[in-house]
Structure formats: structure tokens, C-alpha cells
Amino acid sequence: MKYLPIIILAMPGAAIAKDTPLYQTDAFGIRQYHKPAQVIRGDGRIIETGPYGNQQHHKPQHQIKGNKVYQTDAVGNIQYHKPSLTLKK
């Protein structure tokens, strides 16, 4: 049991998917701190964040699934009756 923390520390990010933040910038590439940002989670969910990095679950969320982006509810269920976007390659 005493080796469990060592094993967990030896796997840097192997089992944990990291969130990728998306920030709004101006024409010069400077981050706009007063505007909302988004986070793309490891499972493909796009969640809006506040100015301090807190996830805003009450705001509209999206899910990337295949080559489509669907709108989801606060729990993460895809809302198929709402419009979706198709990503082109």
C-alpha cells in the first residue's frame, strides 16, 4: 500500500486527461481577461469559464463527437433537437 503514491506519481498524465483552455485575444494576440474563455475537457466537452477560471456549468455547453459539435445540457447529455455544427477537414 505504501507504493501506491509512487506509482501514481510515476504516470504523469497517462490516466488523467488535461483540460485545454481557449482564450479570446485581440488583433495583437493579447489575452482579453474581461471576456469569457472556454475549456475543452478530455472527453470533448466545451465549457465556458469565468474570469477566474471557474467553469460556468449553467451556461450553454457543447460536445465534440466525431466531426460534429452538439449542444449539451448542464449534465452533458447531447441535445439532438438543437442545431449542430459540422467540422470540415
Measuring CA to CA, how many Å separate 57 from each of 18, 52, 74? 18, 14, 6
Q: What is the pLDDT of residue 76?
A: 86
Q: What is the pLDDT of residue 6?
A: 34
Alpha helices (runs of H) in the chain, residue ranges in sequence order: 4-10
Q: What is the pLDDT of residue 81?
A: 93
Give Cα 42 to chain centroid, integer Å. Answer: 7
Candidates 11, 8, 76, 80; CA nearest to 47 is 76
Distance CA 10, CA 74 (A): 34
pTM above threshold 0.75: no
* Mean pLDDT for the stretch of residues 55-82: 90
Counting every residue written for the chain, the total comes to 89
Q: What tens digit of pLDDT does each residue of 12-60 get?
A: 444 456 888 899 999 999 999 888 899 999 888 999 998 888 889 899 8
